[in-house]
Amino acid sequence: METKDFLKKFKGFSVQDFEDLTYAMIKPDAVSAKNEIIRDIKSRGFGILFQHEYQFSKELAENFYSEHKGKGFYDRLVDQMTAGPVVVLILKKKGIIPCYQLWRDELGATNPANAIEGTLRNTYTQKLFGGPEAYAEGRATNCFHGADSVASVIRESNLVLYDIAMS
């Protein structure tokens, strides 16, 4: 589905619809494994409503992570997000638990060194970098993003989808 067509559909979603949706992203360091990751995401029961490979500008990365401005990792995060394309995803999964939380559970701990076996962050830190110790040593990055609330799903989706549509 074209971005502009998806945006029209997206505008029609109610807040209740967002309980079953989430904004997700494969960050630049993992895009090389995107096909395997997409298969893995689907095998975990998520539908993919929208998928688009996109290069974040510095301005978009700064706006996207604005709540972290002033924190020690902010500049490094902006640099990571602009180092190459990302894969933007709008995922869907119905359940008693909101989709964003189901996705974050599948991701595992933000620090891949603390992510339990079988979570996406653990799995792909192993496959792409050789293991969690690579993260601790600075050779690996957190390869995924997951919105942390329904409000973040709405904000992040709007920010990125409109940027894509305007490019």
Query: Treating both helix axes as pointing N-terminal to C-terminal, what angle do 3-11 and 150-166 enclose, rounded to 10 degrees?
Result: 140
Alpha-carbon span 76 to 129, nearest angstrom:
18
Longest dimension (CA), the chain: 45
Closest CA to 76 of 140, 5, 12, 121: 140
Q: Decide if 52 is catalytic.
A: no
Say which of 27, 93, 121, 145 is annotated catalytic. Answer: 145
Which one, of 61, 76, 48, lies nearest residue 160 by Cα? 61
* Residue 165 one-letter amino acid: A
Distance in Å from the first CA to the final CA of the chain:
16
Catalytic positions, written as ranges? 145
